[in-house]
Structure 1
Amino acid sequence: MAAMATPLPRSFRARSGLPRRFSIVSSSICLERRPTAATALAPKKKVLLPIGMGTEEIEAVVLADVLRRAGAEVLVASVETKLEVEGSSGTKIVADAPIGDCFGEIFDLVVLPGGMPGATRLRDCEILQKITCKQAEEKRLYGAICAAPAVVLKPWGLLRRKQMTGHPAFMDKLPTFWAVKSNIQVSGELTTSRGPGTAIDFALSLVEQLFGSGVSEVIGEQLLIQVNDGSLRKEEVNPSEWSFGQNPRVLIPVANGSEGMEVVTTVDILRRAKIDVVVASVERSTKISTSQNSTIIADKSLSAAAESKYDLIVLPGGTAGAERLHKSRVLRKMLKEQKLEGRVCGAVCSSLAILQKQGLLTNVKTAAQSSGEGAGVIIDGKVITSRGLGTAIDFSLAVVGKLFGHARARSVAEGIVYEYPRQ
C-alpha cells in the first residue's frame, strides 16, 4: 500500500507544479529574527546537515538558517577532508565539524541538500550512509532535496515504498510509480523537495514536523507571506537603461551579521546567469559569520575589491551586518563614486538605510516604502531595492531580467524550480 503524504500547514501546503509567490512581512523595516515565545518553549532538536564539494549553497544555507530560527541545533558537517567546502556556484561554506565527528550521535533529523557534484560526494561518504540508514531504520526524520533523493537516497535503498519528489532533471531517475511532481512530499519519516526555489517551503515543512505547526507558522510569518495572485512581484518606475558591457560586474559587500540567505541566493542566481560576482568582506578576515551563524568565505577584502569598478553594487540586509557595512569608509567612498558616475546600486531590507544616508534614495521609490501588498522588488532608475528574505529570489531575477531580458531570467528561474511570470 502506498505511503500517505502528510499534509503541510495551510501557509505552505504541498502542491503540484511550481511554488506560489511570497514576500517579506515587513514593509518599512526588517524584522529582527529573535526567538519567539513559540521557539523559546520548543524542545531542542538536533539536525545533521552534511555538505560536500558542489553542494547547492542556497539549499544548504536556507535549511540551516530556517531550522536555526526555529530553535534547532543544526550541525553542518563536511564529508570532505577539510571543513571549507565550495558550493556548486562557487560560494565557500565552512562546516561546523567533519562528518566523522557525527558518527554515533543521535539526530532528530538528517537532511541532505542537492547540487552536483555535491550529491555524489554525499552518496560516496560511507559514514554519512551509515548515519542516514540508521536514521531511517529507527524511524527518525530524514529528508533530501533537488538531486539528493535520486542520487543519494535511491542507491542507499531509502526510497522503498515511499512517495518522493526531486528536481525535474532527476525525476526519471526516481522509481516511476512512487515519484510525484509536488514541490514538497512527506511520506512517513521521509520529506523530499525539488530545488533551490522550494528550499524555504521544504525547511518550513521540516520545522513543522520537528516543532509543530505553531512554530512553523511563526517562522513563516517572520520570513515571508503569500502574495495574492493579483499583486505585483516587481515594479519598475522611471525606467532607465542599465548600460553594462557584455560581462557585467557585480559587487556584494558582506559583514558579520549579514543575512546569509540573501547573500548566497543573490550570488547563486547571478552566477547562474553568467554574471561576474565578487563577494567582498568589510571585516579584517574574509571569513564571515552570517546572522544565523552560517560561515561563508568572501572572495576578497573590500579594500582589494575597491581597486576595480562595478556595474552594480548590492548591499545585503541583516541589521547587524548593515551597521557594520555602513561603518566602512571604503564602501561609503565606493557608493559615492557609484552615484557620481551613474552606475547602479541595490539594497535589501535594512541596508536601504545605507543608501539613504549616502543620498542615493532622494526622490527614489523603494520597496520599504510600499505597503505589505505592494511589490516586493522595486526598480527606480538606477536603484533596485527589496524588502528582504522572502523576496531575495525575485530581487536577483529582477537584476538578471534587467541586464539580459525576461527570457534569461525565466530560464534561470526554471533551473532552480521557481515560478516566474511568462511575460
Structure 2
Amino acid sequence: MKCLSLSPLLSPPSLSFSSSIKTPFLVALTSTPSKTPTPKRSSKSAKTLFPTTTTSLPPKKVLVPIGYGTEEMEAVILVDVLRRAGANVVVASVEPQLEIEASSGTRLVADTSISTCSDEIFDLIALPGGMPGSARLRDSEILRKITSKHAEEKRLYGAICAAPAITLQPWGLLRRKQMTCHPAFMDKLPTFRAVKSNLQVSGELTTSRGPGTAFEFALALVDQLFGESVAKEVGELLLMRTAEDNHKKEEFNEVEWSVDHSPHVLVPVANGSEEIEVVTVVDILRRAKVDVVVASVEKSLQILASRGIKLIADKSIDNAAESIYDLIILPGGIAGAERLHKSKVLKKMLKEQGSAGRIYGAICSSPTVLHRQGLLKGKRATAHPSVASKLTNEVVEGARVVIDGKLITSRGLATAIEFALAIVSKLFSHARARSVAEGLVFEYPKS
C-alpha cells in the first residue's frame, strides 16, 4: 500500500507503480479509440498532437459507470485519459436511459446500459464521483454485483471524490484498505484507514479526492494497466504541470472584466471538440455561478467529441446567436477547431465580439481559429505546442494561460482547469476562484 503525491506524475522521475506491461498504447488525439491497434508508431509521437502506437497485445478493458449527477469532469477525464493510453473504455449508464445530466448540467450519453455489462470481464472498474451521482451508482444492484465480483477476483478498481465513501463503503469494498475521498465525505470513511492525500493506492484499490485530482487519478490507473513509461508519456501529452511552469500565468494590458449582471458565456462545440476542455470550462464556470450556454455548430445537438464521448449541447449555434455574450470561449481539438472555423454563424459572432470590445478566448488548437479571423492581431497568446508556431510571433513561451486585455488563451487539456479558474478570477475575483478551486480540490495560488 502506498500513497502518491502529485509530484511524481508531473516531473521527470517516473511513477512508482509496477506493471508487467510496458508497451505504449497512445492513440491519436482527434480520433475515437480503435479496436485494432495500429501497426506502426511514429518516433515523434510524444511531441505532437497526433500520437500513434504499436502493440500486438489486446487492449485493456475498462468500465466507467455514470448516472444522474455524476461529476462530469471526473467521468470525462477518466474516459479521455484511459482511451488516450489505449484502453477500451465502456461508459455505462446506471439509469433507464443512456443520456444523463451530470452534476453541473452537462449532458452525457453513455455507450451502453449497465445491464449489458453483467457478463463482461474488465481489467479495471473506475467510478467517478459527484452527488447524487455516487448515490445513483451505489443504488445500482447490477453495478454492485459486477464490482463486488471484480474486486473478489483481485482486479483493479478505483473511485474518486464522493464515490469511495458513498459507493464503495456501503458495498464493503474498502475493507482492509487505505483510502481517500473528497474532504466533504472524509467523515464517512473509517478514521483509522482514511488518508488525507490526493491519491491513495492500496492493493487493487485506487482512490482520489476530486475533479482537481482527476488527471493524477487517471494517470495512476494508466500506470497500473500499462506501466510507468506509458503513464509518463500520456502525462506529457496532457501537458501536466512541472515544477518549472507550475501555475504560470501571464497577463498583459490588464483591464477589468467585471459586468453588472451574471456573466453570460458561450461555449460552441463541434464534432471533434476536446471533451476535457469543453466539460472543464463549463463545469468550473457553472460552479462559479456563470450562465453558460453550450451551442452546437453541427446539425445535431449531440456531438461526438475527440475521444469518442457523446455530449449534448444546450442549443444550436443559430439559436445561440440570438443572444449577446460577455465571453465566447472556443474549446480545442484539431478536428473540432476546424469545424468551429467553418461555422459562418460563429465566425460572425466572433467578429462582432471583437468589434464590440467584449471578451473572447480559446484553448489548445482553437487559438488558430481566432488567428485566422484576425482576432489575435497585436495580441499576445498561447496555444497547444503543436500549433503554436501558426500564431507567428504572438506566442508567449512557457505560459500555461495568457491574458491580453479582453483575450484569454491556454495550452490545452491539463491547463484547462487553470484556464477556467483564470476566467473566474477575472470575471469575479481571485477569492471566488480560490473558493471554486477548493471545492475541486485543486491547488490554487493564494495571491
**Coarse TM-score class (shorter-chain normalised):** over 0.9
Q: Partner amino acid for 2:376? A: L
Look up the SS of the partner of 2:365 in the other structure: helix
For residue 347 of structure 1, the aligned residue among 351, 362, 381 is 362
2:405 pairs with 381, 402, 408, which one? 381
Matches within 5 A, 1:248-397: 248-368=263-383, 369-370=394-395, 374-397=398-421
Aligned partner of 1:35: which letter? T
CA positional deviation for 1:227: 2.9
Match of 1:148 among 149, 152, 163: 163
On the 8 A contact 2:396/2:402 being kept in 1, the answer is no
CA–CA distance in 2 between the matches of 1:148 and 1:263?
23
Q: CA deviation at 1:36?
A: 3.3
Residues 225 and 342 (structure 1), Cα distance of their counterparts in 2 relative to 1, 3 Å cut: same
CA distance in structure 2 between the partners assigned to 1:221 and 1:302 by the alignment: 34
Matched-pair identity in %: 65
Match of 2:9 among 8, 11, 20: 11
TM superposition shift of 1:7 = 5.8
SS of 1:239 mapped into structure 2: coil
What stretches of structure 1 move > 6 A for 4+ residues in a row? none
Q: For 1:174 and 1:292, how far apart are their aligned partners in 2?
A: 34
Unpaired runs of at least 5, structure 1? 15-29
The answer on whether the counterparts of 1:6 and 1:188 sit within 8 Å (CA) in structure 2 is no
Matched, 1:87 2:102: yes
Matched residue SS, 2:171:
coil
**Cα offset, 1:418, TM superposition:** 0.1
**Residue-by-residue CA offset, 1:269-297 (whole Å, 9 max, x unaligned):** 00000000000000000001110000010
Residue 18 of structure 1 corresponds to which residue in structure 2?
none
- Which residue number corresponds to residue 43 of structure 2? none
Gaps of 5+ in 2: 17-46, 384-393
Give distance in 2, aligned partners of 1:320 and 1:410.
33
Q: 1:162 & 1:247 partners in 2: Cα distance?
A: 45
Cα distance, 1:240 vs structure 2: 1.4
* Residue 263 (structure 1) shift: 0.1
Alignment of 1:206-221 (within 5 A): 206-221=221-236
Shift of 1:243: 4.2
CA deviation after TM superposition for structure 1 residue 209, in Å: 0.5
Report the counterpart of residue 411 of structure 1 in structure 2.
435
- Between the aligned partners of 1:194 and 1:398, the Cα distance in structure 2 is 22
Aligned to 1:21: none
Question: 1:31 offset after TM fit, Å?
Answer: 3.8
Map of 1:31-70 to 2, 5 A cutoff?
Answer: 31-37=48-54, 40=55, 43-70=58-85
Listed as ranges, the matches of 1:139-178 within 5 Å are 139-178=154-193
d(CA) in 1 for partners of 2:269, 2:142: 34
Q: Find the aligned partners of 1:230 and 1:139 in 2 and give their Cα distance.
A: 39
Q: Specify the code of the residue in structure 2 equivalent to 1:11.
A: L
Normalised by the length of structure 2, the TM-score is 0.87
- CA–CA distance in 1 between the matches of 2:56 and 2:302? 33
SS at match of 1:393: helix
Contact 2:250-2:402 at 8 Å conserved across structures: yes
1:223-265 per-position Cα deviation (integer Å, ceiling 9, x unaligned)? 1243326755211110112242321100000000000000000
Deviation at 1:41, TM superposition (A): 5.2
Q: Distance in 2 between matches of 1:61 and 1:391?
A: 15
Note closer, same or farther for the CA distance 1:118–1:225 as it changes in structure 2 (3 Å cut): closer
Backbone CA RMSD of aligned residues: 1.6
Query: 1 CA distance for matches of 2:152 and 2:68?
Result: 27
Question: Partner residue of 1:72?
Answer: 87
Listed one character per residue, the Cα deviations across residues 314-348 of structure 1 (whole Å, up to 9, x for unaligned) are 00000000000000000000011101111011001
Distance 1:205 1:239 in 2: 39
Q: Which structure carries more relative contact order (alpha carbon 8 Å, separation 6+)?
A: 1
Aligned length: 402
